[in-house]
Amino acid sequence: MLQEFFSPSAQAFLRYEERPGTGPALILIHGIGCTGGLDYSQVASAPALRGKHCVLIDLIGAGESEKPREFTYTVAAHAQVLTELIRERFSGSVILYGHSLGGPIALSAAENCRAHVRGLILSEANLDPSPSDQPSYKTAQFSEAVFVEKAYPRLFDTVGKPHGIPPTWALTLRTWLPEAMHRLSVDAVRGGKPSWRQRLYDLDCPKTFLFGEKSLPDPDVEELARHGISVRVLSGVGHNMAYENPSLLAQALADFLIQVESD
C-alpha cells in the first residue's frame, strides 16, 4: 500500500510502499537514479520475504515522492528525511538496507536512529568518495545548469548502446529530478566526513555487506571482514542484483533478518 509522509526538513512528501508483515520493518533504500517500487517490488515479493514487514522507499526527488528544487539532496539531507520517517512512523525496531549510494544514506539514518535500528545490511555501497569510473563522478563534473539542460537529456540517447545506460536504469532515472541526481552525485564525490567507511566500522549493530560475484575482485571483501563486518558474495550477479536475481537478494535479506532476530 502506497503511503506518504510529510518531511519537515524537506518540506515535501516522501512516498513509500509498505507491505505489512511480521518482524522488524525492513526498510529498503535505493541508489542514485533508482526507485524503491521498481527496484525492490520483486525482491519484497520473493518467497524468502513473504510475510515479512517490508518498506520500499522512494527518496525525495525520485519515483513517486515529491521533487522540490530547493532541497539540497545530499546524503545527510536524505538521511534526515528517513530519520524523521522512522521516528514518526515506526515505533518498533527497524532494519535498514541500502544499495550503492543508498548505502551511506542508510548508514547515516542508522546513526541518527540508533535506538530503533537492529541491523544494517548494505550491497556494494559507497564507502569512499566516488572514483572517476562511477556515473556519479561523471555527473559531478558538469555544472548543475549544464547537467540539467544538456547532459541529463543526452543520457537517454545512449540507452541500449555500447557503454550507454541500461534500459532498466533509464526507466527509473526518468522519474528523477535532474537537480536531485546532480546534487547527490556532487556529494558522493565529496564523500563523508568522517568517511562513510569509518562510520560503518564504528557503528555498533549487526552489519552485513553484500557483493555480486560479477563485481569481483574487490579488495573490500577482505578489508571489511578484517573490521568485523560480515561479507557475503551473491553468485551469478553484479551491481544490479535486485534486477538480475531478486530471489537471491531476497534470500540474503531474509537470512540477515533471521540472524538479527536471533541475537
- Reply yes or no on whether the pLDDT at 178 is more than 80: yes
Do residues 25 and 94 make contact, with C-beta atoms less than 8 angstroms apart? yes
Q: What is the count of structural domains for the chain?
A: 1
Cell readout for 213 is 560475484
Cα–Cα nearest to 32, from 77, 73, 86: 73
* Predicted confidence (pLDDT) at residue 185 exceeds the cutoff of 80: yes
Is 143 a member of any domain? no
Q: Is the pLDDT of residue 163 over 90?
A: no
Q: In what order do the strands lie in the sheet with 207-212?
A: 2-7, 12-19, 52-58, 22-29, 94-99, 117-123, 207-212, 230-234
Q: Which three cell numbers stand for residue 77?
A: 539531507
Distance, in Å, from the CA atom of 24 to the CA atom of 75, rounded to the nearest integer, reads 24
219 contacts: CB under 8 Å, gap ≥ 6: none
Residues 6 or more apart in contact with residue 142 via CB below 8 angstroms: 150, 151, 182
Q: How confident is the model at residue 263 (pLDDT cuts 50, 70, 90)?
A: confident
* Average of per-residue pLDDT values in the chain: 96
Q: Does residue 92 have a pLDDT over 90?
A: no
The reply to whether 251 falls in a domain is yes
- The C-alpha atoms of residue 5 and residue 88 are separated, in whole angstroms, by 9
Q: How many CA atoms lie within 13 A of 13 on its CB side?
A: 9
Picking from 204, 217, 194, the residue whose alpha carbon sits closest to that of residue 114 is 204
**Residue burial 150-187, b: 16+ Cβ < 10 Å; e: rest:** ebbeebeeeeeeeeebeebbbebbebbbbbbbbbbbbb
Give the pLDDT band (50/70/90) at residue 191.
very high
Residue 17 belongs to a domain with what CATH number? 3.40.50.1820
Residue 190 confidence (pLDDT) above 90: yes
For residue 162, being part of any structural domain is answered with no
**CA–CA separation, 122 and 2 (whole Å):** 24
Q: ∠ CA 241-2-260 to the nearest 5 degrees?
A: 50
pLDDT digits (tens, 9 = 90+) for 113-153: 999 999 999 999 999 999 999 999 999 999 999 999 999 99
Domain with 49, as residue range(s), is 2-130+191-262
Q: 175 in a domain, yes or no?
A: no
Whether residue 262 is predicted with pLDDT greater than 90 in this model: the reply is no
- Tell me, yes or no, whether 117 lies in a domain: yes
Rounded distance, CA 240 to CA 243, Å? 6
Q: Please compute, for residue 14, the number of CA atoms within 13 A of its CA located in the half-sphere on the CB side.
A: 31
User: Is residue 86, in this structure, part of any structural domain at all?
Assistant: yes
Nearest Cα neighbor of 46 from 259, 216, 241 is 241
Banded pLDDT at 1 (limits 50, 70, 90): confident
Cα separation of 71 and 37, whole Å?
A: 22
Kindly report, residue by residue over 18-57, the tens digit of the pLDDT: 999 999 999 999 999 999 999 999 999 999 999 999 999 9
Q: Is 71 in a helix, a strand, or coil?
A: coil
The Cα 72–Cα 48 span in angstroms is 37
- Residue 239 resides in a domain: yes
In the predicted model, is pLDDT for residue 65 greater than 80?
yes
Q: What is the pTM of this model?
A: 0.97
Measured CA to CA, the distance from residue 82 to residue 77 in angstroms comes to 9
pLDDT of 222-239, one tens digit each? 999 999 999 999 999 999
- Let me know if residue 156 belongs to a domain: no
